[in-house]
Amino acid sequence: MQDAGFVRQAFAGIASRYVLANHVLSLGIDCLWRRTTARRIQQLKPARVLDLATGSGDLTQAVQAACPDAKILGADFSVPMMREAQKRGLRALVAADGMNLPFQDASFDVLTVAFGLRNMASWPTALQEMSRVLRPGGRLFVLDFSIPRMPGLRQAYLFYLKHIMTRIAGWITGKREAYVYLCGSIEKFPSGKDMNALICANGFQTATATPLTFGIASLYEAVK
């Protein structure tokens, strides 16, 4: 279980520098990951998309660019983060907690969550809510960090997470403690087959995992 109060406070504290920190810490590769996700969604030609934990709206923008005819709604429980999304021109936004979404059953064709499920209070409860608001046959896309399995790269990446990334992020945002939590949560978050099993145990029929950039991130696609 994640501490929802701490997570809310942490994101409020880094909201204004969140996008810059992401781009610096990933060397801009996070933009490529979002475009990859958007291209997958484009093939489905969805009418209604929910971007949960939308934050500053990076994935919402990528999906809107790929699917200009779709109605895309961004939802997040951090109002300061959504204010950053508004500054970037996003208007279809709603304050919502992933544990209790304010939408009717089967409301969306596609639901996306990028770097957000990991921070929700209960992963199973959040996934069940995502399944509820998706129509039968709807698709879930989860984009998040993962730990590379290649031995040498794995150790190097863990060292980067624990000793380098937190310092750089702290310098950029002035909130190192927030990134100590965020970086630590990556190692605890299930990935690969474990994440597929978690998704399928909570409202989805099938799930596949696609490693991105040598497994530093993974894209999960599931069918309700």
Burial of 66 (0-12, 13-18, 19+ CB in 10 A): middle
Per the structure, the count of domains in the chain is: 1
E strands, 67-170, where? 71-76, 93-95, 108-114, 134-145
Give me the count of residues in the chain.
Answer: 224
Expressed as residue numbers, the domain containing 190 is: 4-223
| Confidence band of 182 (pLDDT split at 50, 70, 90) | confident
| Confidence band of 101 (pLDDT split at 50, 70, 90) | very high
Per-residue b/e over 141-162, b at no fewer than 16 CB within 10 Å? bbbbbbbbeeeeeeeebeeebe
Closest CA to 140 of 130, 126, 125: 130
* Domain containing residue 163: CATH number: 3.40.50.150
Per-residue confidence (pLDDT) for residue 155, from 0 to 100: 92
Q: Convert the pLDDT of each residue in 2-50 to its tens digit.
A: 656 666 666 666 766 676 767 666 777 999 999 999 999 999 999 999 9
